[in-house]
Amino acid sequence: MRTPGAPAICRNRPEPGPFAATDPAGVGAVCPSCGGLALAPIYRLASIPAQSVILFDTPEAARDMPRGQLDLRFCDDCGFVFNSAFDAAGVDYASTTEESQHFSGTFNAFARTLVEEIARRYDLAGRLTLEIGCGKGDFLQELVAQTGTIGLGVDPGFIPDRLPGAHGRDITFRREYFDPAAIETPPGFVVCRHTLEHIPDVGRFLADIATVLSGRRDVGILFETPDMARVLAEGAFWDIYHEHCSYFTLGSHARLFRRAGLHVTRTYLAYGDQYIVQYAEPGAGTPLPEENDLDRVRALAAAFPAKVAAVRAHWTDFVRDRHGAGGRIAIWGGGSKCVSFITSNDLADAVEQVIDINPFKQGKYLPGTGHRVSPPDDLVRTRPDTVIVMNPVYLPEVAARLAALGLSPDLVAL
């Protein structure tokens, strides 16, 4: 991926809601998705890690990493949420990032199911599939194996040594930012999973997708993006990061695509209703019922400042009370959620240990917190009283691993 430029022009705006004509600070005055002007601040943090999946070799370097700001704004015209204080200069996706979840059996099962769904919907044999933001390449490799597609993955953080033998006749990886001018052959299928939320100018990015398609109509498109409606409803501050500068609901995601001349053919929530999975194709079409969420999202956004304050207070008290009573607290999941959970509430001194099953994280230090990431077996030595799981989807997997280690701490999930 690359950082796009100017915002799109808004067309066909819905009727205004309770946030209409509000942007008192005059900051972030144009919605990057629709060009709307009816913006409202809903969540601010003065200092957070500029990047949450980067890893460090020493705790000192981890704690001293650059900081960024968060100023989430809600667009009343289209339901899009974005960080108006995002600073791309503090983010480097070609550095030592480690975002892969493919060491989890739970996540791998989900990814395989998604590949099987794609295979049922499209005949990709012999056709080029472009994956923008392919990460370490696991999903594209599975898609090539199951469908016979010819894969091209683009990501500045790709590490060739992680997929030995994959780079060959049927699959190629480019360790670079996405540039539509560098894609010589128009693809027959485009995949973009957990990348759009990192793009500040989403309108321009969709225009880049159209450029890559080169006017072809027989193209399938799959995007997967975190669902912001759940974050708003739950006050899930742990799912808000500086480098996640763009936040979507089912409706705002689809509206972005339709403004770009792409017809949304299916959209739904997956993975414990945490992810938006959306299929699209070039052309126009009738909006789906799932896209009609703007009134609900307006209400959620209006309630979010109070909701997130209450949820942050709850978890701060939970951790502080248990730590103050002498309890040892471990967090399972050394990724972005963990970094946000600890740094948003200044809980570094109260969390004793961070666990992750990804071997490429183990022995490294988390940004902003300075915690060393340890393997699950280390829990046998430290024997925590409480283990906080950063994602409830993984509760059965974590519980089974703890039982296998002969441990029975109090297990709670966000």
pLDDT tens-place string over residues 378-412:
999 999 999 999 999 989 999 999 999 999 999 99
**Domain boundary at 290, 318, 334, which?**
290
Query: Which residues, 6+ apart, have CB-to-CB distance to 287 below 8 Å?
Result: 254, 258, 264
CATH number of the domain bearing residue 271: 3.40.50.150
In this structure, the answer to whether residues 109 and 255 fall within a common structural domain is yes
Can you count the helices (H) and strands (E) in the chain? 10, 16
Q: Say if residue 264 is in the same domain as residue 336.
A: no
DSSP 57: S
Establish how many alpha carbons lie within 13 A of residue 384's alpha carbon, considering only the half-sphere containing its beta carbon: 27
Residues 286, 154, single domain; the answer is yes
Long-range contacts of 192-195 (CB under 8 A, 24+ apart): 192/131, 192/132, 192/133, 192/221, 192/222, 192/223, 192/224, 193/131, 193/133, 193/135, 193/139, 193/222, 193/223, 193/224, 194/99, 194/133, 194/135, 194/224, 194/225, 194/226, 195/1, 195/132, 195/133
- Does any domain span residue 34? no
Residue 82 to residue 48: CA distance in whole angstroms = 16
β-partners of residue 414 are: none
Tell whether 127 is covered by a domain: yes
Query: Rounded distance, CA 13 to CA 263, Å?
Result: 17
Sign of CA dihedral 211, 215, 216, 219: positive
Q: Residue 54 gets which letter from DSSP?
A: B
* 47 within some domain: no
Per-residue pLDDT of the chain (414 residues; tens, 9 = 90+): 333 332 222 222 333 333 333 333 444 589 999 999 999 999 999 999 999 888 899 999 999 999 999 999 999 999 999 999 999 888 877 666 655 555 667 778 888 999 999 999 999 999 999 999 998 888 998 999 999 999 999 998 887 766 655 555 689 999 999 999 999 999 999 999 999 999 999 999 999 999 999 888 899 999 999 999 999 999 999 999 999 999 999 999 999 999 999 999 999 999 999 999 999 999 999 999 999 999 999 999 999 999 999 999 999 999 999 999 999 999 999 989 999 999 999 999 999 999 998 888 899 999 999 999 999 999 999 999 999 999 999 899 999 999 999 999 999 999
Task: Find how far residue 413's CA is from the centre of its chain.
Answer: 19
Same domain, 230 and 310: no
Whether 286 and 302 share a structural domain: no
pLDDT tens digits along 84-112: 999 988 887 766 665 555 566 777 888 89
Q: Nearest to residue 175, comparing CAs of 243, 99, 93, 100?
A: 93
Residues 346 and 238 in one domain: no
Boundary residue ending a domain (232, 267, 290)? 290
Of the residues 232, 259, 290, the one at which a domain ends: 290
Same domain, yes or no: 125 and 159:
yes
* CATH number of the domain that residue 302 is part of: 3.40.50.720
Asked, for residue 56, whether it belongs to a domain, the answer is no
Is 279 found in the same domain as 307?
Answer: no
Length of the chain: 414
How far is Cα 33 from Cα 285, in angstroms, rounded to an integer?
20
| Structural tokens at position 137 | 């390449």
Checking DSSP bridges between strand 39-49 and strand 386-389, what pairing results, if any? unpaired
Is 77 within a domain?
A: no
CA distances from 383 to 105, 370, 386, 402, 404 (A): 24, 21, 9, 10, 14
> Given this model, what pLDDT does residue 360 score?
84
Same structural domain for residues 274 and 324? Answer: no
- 48 lies in a domain? no
For residues 125 and 236, membership in a common domain is answered with yes
Give the tens place of pLDDT for each residue, 154-199. 998 887 766 655 555 689 999 999 999 999 999 999 999 999 999 9
Residue 159's region, left for phi above 0, alpha for psi from -120 to 50, else beta, is: beta
Q: Are 197 and 240 in contact (CB under 8 A)?
A: no
Which domain covers residue 407, as residue numbers? 298-413
Residue 89 belongs to a domain:
no
Total of domains in the chain = 2
Domain assignment present for residue 146? The answer is: yes
Instruction: Kindly list the distances between the CA atom of residue 141 and the CA atoms of 157, 167, 227, 359, 361, in Å, as whole numbers in the listed order.
Output: 16, 9, 25, 20, 22
126 Ramachandran zone, left/alpha/beta (phi>0; psi -120 to 50): left
367 plus 250 within the same structural domain: no
- 283 in the same domain as 327: no
